């Protein structure tokens, strides 16, 4: 009797731990970062990715699944390639120079950039198709 109770207790505890771990994992998967290397990739969750911190550095950034925010507007004299992947993404390459490439991928994507930036699969923003 005593032993059965103990087993049940341990099983209950294991279930509680598993639920807590899963709940946190869902949140922990998303990243909010400034890229430190190229290419730079997000996760399957909602990510926020910023280009590398220096002028003249080309970036290739992909958000992958979910609604991501990709910001390559902070530094200029570069050719940045932004890919939203699936989900409603927000891509920004309005850094004052041309030749950046924005591709929203699937979903309703918002793309902002400069004259001379290229866009594909963008539904909103100043570079909407
Ligand atoms: Ca850059
Ligand atoms: Ca840039
Ligand atoms: Ca997308
Ligand atoms: Ca630009």
Give dist(CA 99, CA 58) in Å, integer.
11
Q: Could you tell me the distance, in angstroms and rounded to a whole number, from the CA of residue 29 to the centre of ligand 4? A: 29
Q: Could you tell me the distance, in angstroms and rounded to a whole number, from the CA of residue 100 to the centre of ligand 2? A: 8
Q: Could you tell me the distance, in angstroms and rounded to a whole number, from the CA of residue 85 to the centre of ligand 3? A: 5
Phi, psi of 69 (to 5 degrees): -120, 120
Please list the pLDDT of the chain residue by residue as tens digits (129 residues): 567 788 888 888 888 887 777 666 655 579 999 999 999 999 999 999 999 999 999 999 999 999 999 999 999 999 999 999 999 999 999 999 999 999 999 999 999 999 999 999 999 999 998
Residues paired with 112 in a beta bridge = 92
Task: Tell me the whole-structure pTM to 2 decimals.
Answer: 0.80
């Amino acid at each position: 009797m005593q032993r059965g109770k103990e087993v049940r207790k341990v099983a209950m505890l294991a279930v509680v731990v598993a639920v807590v771990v899963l709940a946190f994992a869902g949140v922990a998967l998303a990243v909010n970062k400034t890229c430190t290397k190229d290419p730079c990739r997000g996760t399957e969750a909602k990510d926020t990715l910023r280009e590398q911190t220096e002028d003249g550095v080309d970036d290739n950034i992909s958000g992958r699944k979910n609604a991501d925010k990709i910001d390559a507007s902070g530094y200029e004299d570069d050719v940045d390639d932004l890919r939203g992947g699936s989900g409603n993404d927000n891509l920004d390459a309005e850094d004052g120079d041309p030749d950046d490439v924005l591709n929203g991928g699937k979903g309703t994507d918002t793309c902002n950039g400069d004259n001379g930036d290229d866009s594909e699969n963008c539904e909103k923003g100043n570079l909407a198709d």
